[in-house]
Amino acid sequence: MQKDSNKNNERKNIGRKDDSRKKTVLQKDKQAKKADGQKKTPVKNKPAKKQDYSETKSGKHSGDKRNAAEILGCPVGKKCGGCIYTGMPYEEQLKLKHKKLVGLLGKYGEVKPVIGMQDPLFYRNKVHHVFSWEKGKVKNGIYAEGSHRVIPVKECLIEDKKSQEIIKTIEKLVVSFKIKVFDEDTGYGLLRHVLIRHGFKSGEIMVVLVVADRMFPGKNNFIKVLRKEHPEITTVVMNINREKTSMVLGEREDVAYGPGFIKDELCGYRFRISSKSFYQVNPVQTEVLYDKAIEQAGLKGDETVVDAYCGTGTIGLIASKYAGKVIGIELNPDAVRDARKNAKENKVYNAEFIKGDAGDCMERMAAEGLKTDVLFMDPPRSGSTEKFLKSVLKIAPERIVYISCGPESLARDLKLLTAGKKYAVKDIQPVDMFPQTEHVETVISLSRV
């Protein structure tokens, strides 16, 4: 599902063991969409017999076959186009992902085993459902792959359970309050989408009601009843989207209850998250991913670090205690605002955040001869731009840490970065951020030759 809202609107996307079903999986593997990122101490289970491709942060994957059995029960796994590995044992999923990465990145060095999750279910902290009519009845669910046909979902095995409970309550309230659901064909109706963001460590929950008009009949009572059912909801936002567009969120928002944002903790830092801010959908694996990224950066304490495509500043702020100065670059204004407030709340005084296109900012920095020791880059699934990468080669940082959720675009960008033999790949570490989907995150470090 997706990168995420503000990373080119990242959208979400997740075999059976016998050969015939594997063929089906591999066919669908080419078509699936993007999977729209609390630190847990891994439980030390006995290692599975085959450990070549799956490991947790402690180095071993539990091989819990219960998960595979549960996933077999998903009735819409193949219809939504997201969870295409439904029914496949988790260790097999990791093997498939590793094999794909070796094919794309193996020429640059050893692709390490994919770091898997201890419990690869119900991990998404961001849940989006579409509301629509079907035969005169309200239904909610997700779009079928490549269409705007809504598939009702009673339980999704990758979405946060509490968020799903809240959406079920909203569906009942829509009926009882006689709220008209939006019809894409006629343009008539009010409620279009519901978006839930859940801070797994903080426990805070944001509900975003995406509506076609600011006039929401009985809004206060609606929210009052909703919060009575789910008192853990800390804020409700009305997002107004009148446009005929595939974009979920509109430009204008009204805060109907609470502060209009939630906070959550990641790697010991508190982060403010608004409806449009990019924030990794799997917080458990995000901590693993960021730990690896900081480790690869090899910071000694006096470096100037640039965090490109920085979102709400997560990587940059976490890296700040190991660096001399951090400069974050982000195009989305809401994310930049949140990043600045995050720095203030976490008492980080050696970081600044710039609103702008990463390519433009890096070109300007190159022209001004500004020094960069370490570059973190975490672009959308489509990868970086030629303009950005050429400016990186001009600035020539000592080390580059590239975090990617798109293996194909990563391979393309590495080709440009290593073409002039200015840089060599030093480490390739995949992290499974999106269990049950085809997608995998990879963190790669390059050093200047």
Domains of the chain, first to last: 126-266 (2.40.50.1070), 275-448 (3.40.50.150)
Residue 172 pLDDT greater than 90, yes or no: yes
- DSSP-H helix ranges across 238-332: 283-297, 314-320
pTM of the predicted model as reported, rounded to 2 decimal places? 0.81
pLDDT digits (tens, 9 = 90+) for 299-333: 999 999 999 999 899 999 999 999 999 999 999 88
**Beta pairing, strands 374-377 & 304-308:** parallel
Residue 80 annotated to the active site = no
Three-state secondary structure call for residue 296: helix
Q: Minimal CA–CA distance to 235: which of 218, 259, 203?
A: 259
Residue 343 pLDDT greater than 90, yes or no: yes
Give the pLDDT band of residue 289 (cuts 50, 70, 90). Answer: very high
Q: Spell 418-432 as b/e; 16+ CB within 10 A means b.
A: beeeebebbbbbbbb
Q: Which residues contact 31 (CB under 8 A, 6 or more apart)?
A: 81, 145, 146
Percentage of the residues of the chain whose pLDDT score is greater than 90: 61
Arithmetic mean of pLDDT, 133-148: 81
* Number of CB atoms found within 10 A of residue 203's CB: 12
Q: Which one of 83, 310, 361, 405 is the catalytic residue?
A: 405
Q: Minimal CA–CA distance to 212: which of 173, 186, 235, 178?
A: 186
Q: Which residues contact 262 (CB under 8 A, 6 or more apart)?
A: 197, 198, 199, 202, 204, 205, 206, 234, 235, 272, 273
Arithmetic mean of pLDDT, 398-425: 94
pLDDT digits (tens, 9 = 90+) for 12-50: 333 333 343 333 333 444 444 334 434 333 433 333 333
User: What pLDDT is stored for residue 370 in this prediction?
Assistant: 84
